[in-house]
C-alpha cells in the first residue's frame, strides 16, 4: 500500500470514529516522529506545542478529544511526491468547554521514512480555534 492509500484509509477511519480511536494513526507513526501543530506555539492553544516521539503524539490525541469533539473531517486532496504527502481538506470540531462549533480549512504535511511518518505539520485557522474556546 502506498503512502496516499495508507493516509486515505487513516483519514476515513479518523472521521468514522470521530477521533475516538487514536490507534488509527499509531501504526503509521515512527517512534522518533517530530510533530508540529502550526508553525509555532500559539499561547491560546495548548495543543500547538511541538512534539517529539510516538508517546508524546499519543498524549496529544488524548488531549485533543478531551478539549474537542469531532463533528466531521473531510479530505479533499491528497498529493504525493516521493516520501512526502500533502492533505488539503476541512474539519469541524465542537469545543467541549464552550459548545461552539468551529469549521476550518486544514492542511497536513507528512514525511515518510521506511513506511512510517517521521515528520508531520498541520495548519488550520487558529483564530477560529481560539474563538471556539472563548
- CATH number for 3-133 (one of 2.60.40.10, 3.10.450.50, 3.40.50.300, 3.30.420.40): it is 3.10.450.50
The whole-number pLDDT of residue 43 equals: 58
H-state helical runs in the chain: 3-16, 23-26, 54-67, 126-133
Which triple of cell numbers denotes residue 5?
492509500
Taking the model in full, what pTM does it have? 0.89
pLDDT at 48: 66
Residue range 28-84, pLDDT digits in tens: 999 999 999 876 655 556 666 788 999 999 988 888 899 899 999 999 999 999 999
Question: With bands split at pLDDT 50, 70 and 90, how would you rate the model's confidence at 1?
Answer: low
Amino acid at each position: 500500500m502506498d503512502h496516499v492509500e495508507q493516509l486515505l484509509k487513516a483519514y476515513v477511519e479518523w472521521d468514522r470514529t470521530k477521533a475516538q480511536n487514536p490507534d488509527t494513526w499509531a501504526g503509521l507513526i515512527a517512534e522518533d516522529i517530530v510533530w508540529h501543530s502550526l508553525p509555532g506555539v500559539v499561547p491560546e492553544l495548548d495543543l500547538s506545542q511541538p512534539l517529539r516521539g510516538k508517546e508524546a503524539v499519543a498524549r496529544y490525541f488524548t488531549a485533543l478529544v478531551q478539549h474537542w469533539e469531532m463533528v466531521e473531517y473531510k479530505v479533499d486532496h491528497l498529493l504525493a511526491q516521493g516520501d512526502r504527502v500533502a492533505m488539503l481538506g476541512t474539519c469541524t470540531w465542537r469545543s467541549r468547554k464552550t459548545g461552539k462549533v468551529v469549521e476550518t480549512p486544514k492542511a497536513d504535511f507528512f514525511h515518510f521514512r521506511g513506511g512510517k511518518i517521521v515528520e508531520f505539520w498541520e495548519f488550520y485557522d487558529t483564530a477560529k480555534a481560539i474563538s471556539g474556546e472563548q
